A and B are shown apart, each in its own frame.
Chain A
Amino acid sequence: MTILLLILTILPLVCSIAIKVAFIPASEGIAISGAHIFFTIDLPFGGLPITESQVNSWAVLLSLFFLCLFLTHGMKTKNIGVRQIIAEFIVEKVEGLVRSSMGEMFMGFGPFIAAIMGLSAMTSLQSLLGLYPATSDLNVVSGWAILVFILITYYKMKAGPLYYLKGFTEPIPVMTPMNIIGEIATPVSMALRHYGNVISGFVISILIGTALSGASSLIFGWLPGALGGYLLRIGLPAIFSIYFDLFSGCLQAFIFAMLTMNYVSSAFPADEYFRRKALKKARLEAKNIK
């Protein structure tokens, strides 16, 4: 059972590698383009292209789902195993992070923050497997940023829609256009930050790979066969990849999660909300007494 779940965790990633190998023609030289389109479903507003980034993020989704099952199945209260220790560690760390940066009221955000971190980090780290990192597709991170924007707006509306609209005219009514731009800038900046960081790492990786290939054939060109063209490409790109894929990917995931927590918790007008709540309660009690 345990081994089956572990296999199921790894299988989606293996499948996406297989799909890439089977359907995507290898490109030589410098070719910086977006995700490969497998096919397009006819829909209004430009149709839905099923792309590499979609497939890869679904693979991550499935993989994370089976990872959860793998970590949490057969949990005990005593004599816990390594899997359970990891699961408890993840949950406690995420909850601690949420508690310290959002407060006790937002504890329900634990799974959401974990989902952002897991999805973002895993999709970025897919580039280590030679896959197209889904986070370097602007559509993917835009979707996450819009979901965060919806949450921000929802929490801003907690104290009533009128209070929310009034918030745009503060501190003076002239500032209203600025405030609206600032409101929209939040998801846009979040999406572009994440996307830009990942795709820049991706581009730099390709540039380094191509440059090393050129340098290698220049220096070791006298070696027989194709060996000369590949000698410098062994190992060296991996060292750069540690920064541009591993470190940058995890860092961007963390930054995205931290920004989400900050924006959402600061969007919540706590004072106004509790004032209204107390008022409502008092009114209700007065009615009951009557």
Chain B
Amino acid sequence: MNNLDVISLNIWQILISLANLAILFFLFKRFLFKPVKEILAKRESEIQAEYDKAEKATDEANEIKASWEEKMKTADDKADEIIKNAVEKADRRSEVMLYESREKAESIIRKAKAEAERDKRDAQETIKQEIVGVSAAISEKIIGREINMDDHKDLIDSFIDNMEEA
């Protein structure tokens, strides 16, 4: 049998075994750890890039939202202003109309009053004329008799009494 002893030491065998471990160390370093670490770093950076992108998109969306909200607010303000203007205009117009109509009504009333006054004066005038006429007739009647002051006075009084009664 061509075997080693169970416990045997040989410097060359030890060196070869040492070299084997060293070689395996370099193999593992080059062919297992390096590529795996590279791929891990790459994945990390890719994930970071994705996160950055997502953050950017969120920021942009927020910006757009803010601008829209701003716009909506100004639109509300504008609508308020328009309504206010319209209401003001309408108020003014209605006031004018009210004023005009009151004026018209007043002028109508004034005209009516003036007419009534004139009618009244006309009536008084005619009454006076009639009174004069009647008094002249009565005077003519009385002239035929002697002029008596007392009679005349009585006549006029009775006449006015009658008038009042009538």
- Interface code B1-25, partner A: CB below 8 Å = 1, 0 otherwise? 1111111111111111111111111
**A115 vs B32: C-alpha distance in the bound complex, in angstroms?**
11
B-side interface mostly:
helix
> A46 an interface residue at 8 Å Cβ cutoff?
yes
B17 contacts A143, CB within 8 Å? Answer: yes
Nearest-CB residue, chain A, relative to B24: A115
**A54 vs B1: C-alpha distance in the bound complex, in angstroms?**
18
**A141 vs B42: C-alpha distance in the bound complex, in angstroms?**
38
A57 contacts B20, CB within 8 Å? Answer: yes
- Interface code A55-91, partner B: CB below 8 Å = 1, 0 otherwise? 0011001001100110110011110000010011011
> A29 an interface residue at 8 Å Cβ cutoff?
no
Q: Which of B13, B16, B31, B35 contacts A65 (CB 8 A)?
A: B31
Residues on B with C-beta less than 8 A from A31 are: 1
Min distance, Cβ B79 to any Cβ of chain A, angstroms: 52
Interface residues on B, range: 35 or more
Residues on A with C-beta less than 8 A from B5 are: 33-34
Residues on A with C-beta less than 8 A from B26 are: 111
**A147 vs B20: C-alpha distance in the bound complex, in angstroms?**
10
Residues on A with C-beta less than 8 A from B117 are: none
Q: Which of B14, B24, B32 contacts A87 (CB 8 A)?
A: B32
> B46 an interface residue at 8 Å Cβ cutoff?
yes
Residues on A with C-beta less than 8 A from B43 are: 77-78
* Known interface pairs A57-B20, A84-B39; A68-B6 also in contact (CB < 8 Å): no
Known A-B contacts: A48-B12, A57-B17. Give 12 more (CB < 8 A). Answer: A36-B4, A68-B28, A69-B31, A72-B36, A77-B39, A115-B28, A118-B24, A138-B9, A139-B17, A143-B15, A146-B14, A199-B6
> Can you list the 10 inter-chain pairs with the closest CB atoms, starting with the nearest?
A143-B17, A34-B4, A139-B13, A143-B18, A111-B29, A48-B12, A111-B28, A115-B24, A68-B31, A33-B3
Instruction: State the B residues within 8 Å of A (CB).
Output: 1-29, 31-33, 35-37, 39-40, 42-43, 46
